[in-house]
Structure 1
Amino acid sequence: MKLFSKTITMLEQGLDYASLREKVIANNIANVDTPNYKAKEVRFKTELDRALTSLKAKRTNPKHFEFQHDATGNFFVATRNDVVYNHNGNNVDIDKEMSDLAENQIYYNALIEQLNGKFNTLKTVIKGGK
């Protein structure tokens, strides 16, 4: 028996993504002056595309199209090798990292608000609407 709805599970996966992205961005910022350090990024779209290639659903009629889906909830951390910004071989753009950090914080806070709303709804139901 599942205690919580699928919405809470999806919010949890979103928080996992935001947490990993926060760690990667913080690592990039910490290594802004490290020679030959290559910035990393969390790629969700790559993982989503991989998961969607194996999408499968139950067919109720043989004339229906076949498709399947095996979502794992994993995220791919990749090194950015496309550009070198600094003379020491480092490609961390501090302005981009700070912008990404602010964007990720807003995303994280929105997920927390949604999760709090779900738990408040459950609390109201448990108390009988009081």
Structure 2
Amino acid sequence: MNFPQNLRYTNEHEWIRVEGDIAYVGITDYAQDQLGDIVFVDIPTVGESLEAGESFGTIEVVKTISDLFLPVEGEVLEQNEALEENPELVNKDPYGEGWLIKMKPVELKDVENLLDAEAYKAVVNG
């Protein structure tokens, strides 16, 4: 399993990376591994402002559909258009080309309250 040190994580297995005042959000390597082959990503919330913990979309795998939860309060600015044609990018590169959304957090400091790599690793390893 890969746990990049430059990201913050949630207990629901999303990651967030801040670049300036914009943040990228995706699911972790652990999450994509547990889900299996991703066949569809649905992000209907572009342009909406959501609270931390609210569902911003779903990921569909062969056997189930899983909700995606926003790590911090903010506006969903954009979805990763590449996933429309290639949802498997989430499986192949969850921390790079497989990002799900760009968002504008209301408070950037809220990101620092999320799990760091070591704390997330402890969640995954029980």
Greater per-residue helix proportion: 1
- TM-score of the pair, normalised by structure 2: 0.32
